[in-house]
Amino acid sequence: MIAAALMLTATATFAAMRLLKPADVSGFRSDKALSAAFESENAINIDASAASDGFIFTLMAIVSGKDITDQPWYSERVRDERTYAVLAIQRADGEPMSFSLDDLMKYRFFASPLVKGLDPALYNAMSMNGGQDSFFWEGTQYCLIECDSVEMFADRGLYFAVCPGSFYDSDAFVWNERTGEVKVNPDFDGASAVFDLPVDKSLADPEKAAQWLLENQISSVTHSSEAPRLIEP
């Protein structure tokens, strides 16, 4: 599969390299159920790319559902409704990436779905009972990101963000607390990207979303016993 057209500046060029299929990426951790999910009609193939600070980020696909993995994250409790996304990372100069001690910190990126209206520094894959696996193959880094299903928030709007490091970096993005929008910070010194997640709004479940927020309160958001409030766009 060839990466889709890249969102580059007028002077930037990049020779797209062949990428694995999303099902093949999940296959690297021997997850047959997830590979099948990425091949199913429920998967959303995105193939959107963005260039930033010498890297090309390609958001390949996302899939959500119940029991779509052979390897639930940490516990059976979080298995029922999950979201998985596949991200490919390449160097914009076409040079291969490699998993070496010298490159480990340089090539470490945090990636996560985000919900429009929730503080992204507090509500991301890490706090949504998830995380990510990464590996290198033929010069490309592949990241498999998972968290509680974001479909329930689809009517609010969803993003997918990438930044350097092991955690969400608030300096890499601009979060508009009034509108809930998340954008790349143009003054950030480092590679970062924000994608819109094209999840059908009809899949939203406001009641389930409200219940999830009640069960996953983060005190630094509310400083009270109330559930965090979604900011109206």
pLDDT of residue 97: 85
78 falls within a domain:
yes
Instruction: Map residue 179 onto helix, strand or coil.
Output: coil
Query: For 96-109, what is each residue's pLDDT tens digit?
Result: 987 676 666 678 99
Q: How far apart are CA 25 and CA 172, in angstroms?
A: 27
In a domain, 177, yes or no: yes
Both tokens of residue 230? 């979604």
Q: What's the whole-number average pLDDT of the chain?
A: 84
Residue 29 has a pLDDT of: 83
Query: Is residue 73's pLDDT more than 50?
Result: yes
Average pLDDT of 114-121?
A: 96
pLDDT digits (tens, 9 = 90+) for 139-194: 999 999 999 999 999 999 999 999 999 999 999 999 999 999 999 999 999 999 99
Residue 16 or residue 216, greater confidence: 216
The pTM of the full predicted model, rounded to 2 decimals, is: 0.84
pLDDT, residue 102, reads 67
Residue 233 lies in a domain: no
Domain that holds residue 41: 6-222
Please write the tens of the pLDDT for every residue from 23-60.
999 988 889 999 999 999 999 999 999 999 999 999 99
Please indicate, yes or no, if residue 125 is contained in any of the structural domains.
yes
Specify the pLDDT at position 71. 79
Domain count, the chain: 1
Q: Long-range contacts for 169-178 (Cβ within 8 Å, ≥24 apart)? A: 169/110, 170/120, 170/121, 173/120, 175/119, 175/120, 175/121, 177/119, 177/231, 178/231
Residue 205 lies in a domain: yes
Residue 78 is predicted with a pLDDT of 47
Does residue 1 lie within any of the structural domains?
no
Q: What is the pLDDT of residue 230?
A: 41
Q: Cβ distance 210 to 226 under 8 Å?
A: no
Range 191-194 contact pairs with CB under 8 angstroms and sequence separation of 24 or more: 191/52, 191/53, 191/54, 191/55, 191/57, 191/109, 191/162, 191/163, 191/164, 192/52, 192/53, 192/161, 192/162, 192/163, 192/164, 193/50, 193/52, 193/57, 193/161, 193/162, 194/159, 194/160, 194/161, 194/162
Question: What pLDDT is stored for residue 17 in this prediction?
Answer: 61
Residue 70 lies in a domain: yes
Q: Kindly indicate the confidence band of residue 225, based on its pLDDT and cuts at 50, 70 and 90.
A: very low
CB 168 within 8 A of CB 156: no
Q: What is the CATH number of the domain that holds 17?
A: 2.60.40
Residue in this structure with the two tokens 């219940």, named with its chain if needed: 211
Query: Domain for residue 21, yes or no?
Result: yes
Q: For residue 145, count other CB atoms closer than 10 A to its CB.
A: 24
Q: Is the pLDDT of residue 74 over 80?
A: no
Helix (H) or strand (E) holding 114: strand 109-115
